[in-house]
Amino acid sequence: MNWLQLLSHKRPGESKSISHDQTRSRFEQDYDRIIFSHPFRKLQDKTQVFPLPEADFVHTRLTHSLEVSVVGRSLAKNVGNYLLNKYPELETNGFTVHDFGGIVGAACLAHDLGNPPFGHSGEDSISSFFLTNPKGQAFEQKVSKEEWKDLTTFEGNAQGFRILNSKGNGGLKLTFATLGAFTKYPLSSSSKKEKGRKSQKKFGYYQCNASLFSEMAEEMGLVRSNADTWCRHPLAFLVEAADDICYHIIDLEDGCRLGLVPFEVVKE
C-alpha cells in the first residue's frame, strides 16, 4: 500500500481529487461535519455500559466518542511524525502530522454511530426481529440472499458506514481516508472469512454500500484478499487502539463511581 493513496482526501461522487488545503483541511472538515451531524448528537442518549443510570456522571456513547477522538488524534500525530520522516514525499505533497490526527480523530468520533441502544443486545434484537417475527420474516421474499444476510445479522459497524453515506440522512460525504480509518472490518456479511483474522470477525458494510466501498478501497489501494474483502486501512488500527484504551479506563471509572467496584481495586 502507498501512503499517498491511503491519505486520499477525495470524497464519494467526486470525479477528481481536490487540491490539499492546510488552512482547513478536508480531514478537519470531516471532523466538523460529524460534530454537527444529527447521528452524532443522538449518541448522547445511549449509555456506554450501564443502562438507565441514576448518576449523570456515567459515560454516554457521546462522551466516550469524544474521549476516543482525543486519544486517537494524539496517537495518529505520533505515527504521522514517524511516517513523514520515513516517506519525505508526504511532506512534499503538503501532508503534516495534523492530517494524520484529523483523519483518525474524525474516524474515532464516528466509530460508534451505528451502534443501536443497548449495544450488542440491541443488535441481537434487531436481527431476531427479521428471523423470528412474522412482520420481519416477510422481508425475506423482497430482498436478495445477500441483503437478507445483512438484515438477519445486524452489525453496528456496517450500520455506521451506511449512516455516514446515506442520502436519506444527508450523507456526510467524508473523505475516503476517514472512511477507511473508520472501517474495522473491510468485508460484507456474505464474504468468505479466513479463520483467525480479527479484521474479519464481523463485517463493515451492507450490500447497499458495496459499490461505494469497492470504489473507496480501489482509490486508496487497499490490498484485496478476495472479491469482496480487503485488508484494513493502517490507520484503522489506531482507531481501534484508542477505543480499547478509553473504554477499558472509563468502564472501570464508571463501575467505581456506581459503587460496583471498590476504589482500592480500581487503584491497584
Over residues 192-214, the mean pLDDT reads: 90
Separation of alpha carbons 17 and 14, rounded Å: 7
Return the DSSP state at 233. P
* Structure confidence at residue 49 (pLDDT): 61
Domains of the chain: 3-8+27-267 (1.10.3210.10)
Over residues 99-107, the mean pLDDT reads: 97
Percent of the chain with pLDDT strictly greater than 70: 92
Q: Would you report the helix, strand and coil content of the chain in percent, each value rounded to 5?
A: 60, 5, 35
Percent of the chain with pLDDT strictly greater than 90: 66
Beta bridge partners of 47: 60
| Contact assessment for residue 76 and residue 101, using Cβ atoms and an 8 Å cutoff | yes
The answer to whether residue 192 scores a pLDDT higher than 90 is no
φ/ψ region of 259 (left if φ > 0, alpha if ψ in -120 to 50, else beta) reads: left
Q: How do residues 22-59 score in pLDDT, each as one tens digit?
A: 778 999 999 999 999 999 998 887 665 666 566 666 77
* Structure confidence at residue 167 (pLDDT): 77
The answer to whether residue 122 scores a pLDDT higher than 90 is no
* Structure confidence at residue 151 (pLDDT): 96
Over residues 142-150, the mean pLDDT reads: 95
Enter the C-alpha cell of residue 247.
473504554
* Structure confidence at residue 80 (pLDDT): 97
Separation of alpha carbons 199 and 183, rounded Å: 9
Return the DSSP state at 199. G
20 — pLDDT class (breaks 50, 70, 90) = low
DSSP 82-123: HHHHH-HHHHHTT--HHHHHHHHHHHHHHTTTTPPTTHHHHH
Q: How do residues 132-142 score in pLDDT, each as one tens digit?
A: 999 999 999 99
Q: At a CB cut-off of 8 Å and minimum separation 6, what does 99 contact?
A: 7, 25, 27, 80
17 — pLDDT class (breaks 50, 70, 90) = low
Q: What is the mean pLDDT of the chain?
A: 90
Separation of alpha carbons 116 and 263, rounded Å: 31
